[in-house]
Amino acid sequence: MRKFKRLSALVAVSAVPFFFVLMTGTAEAIRIANHCEPAPGDR
């Protein structure tokens, strides 16, 4: 019984990325953003 539980937990954990893949694919949106620092003359 314990073995079965462990196996089903393993299957569930491995399946998560596959469901995730089915839903979203591998294309990760990138973040293109600027950074803010004080201008050199401000210091």
Partner 1 sequence: MIADRFARRRRVALIRRCLLRGVYCRRRGWYAEGERWARRADEAAREVDLAGRATLLVDLASLWHALTRYPESHACARRAAELLTPSPPGPGRDGPLSDALVRMGDVERRQARYVPAEVHLRHAFALAPETDHERGAAVRLALGVLCKELGRYGEAETCYRDALTRLDRLGGEHPMRADALHNLAGLAHTRGDPGGERYARAAIEARRRTLGPRPGPRHDHVAADLAVLGALLAGQGRHAEAEETLHRAMDIFRERLGADHYEVAVCQVNLARLDHLQGRAEQAGRRYRDALRIKRLTLGPGHPEVRRLSALVAEVGDGLAGKG
Residue 34 in the binding site for partner 1 (CB under 8 A)? yes
Residue 30 engages partner 1 in binding (rule: CB under 8 A): yes
Look up residue 21 and give its two tokens: 């893949």
Residue 13 Cβ vs partner 1, minimum distance, rounded to whole Å: 11
Least separation in angstroms between CB 1 and partner 1: 30
Percentage helix, strand, coil for the chain under 3-state DSSP, each rounded to 5: 60, 0, 40
Residue 43 near partner 1 by CB under 8 A = yes
Convert 4-14 to b/e letters by CB count within 10 Å (16 or more is b).
eeeeeeeeeee
The reply to whether 35 sits near partner 1 by the rule CB under 8 A is yes
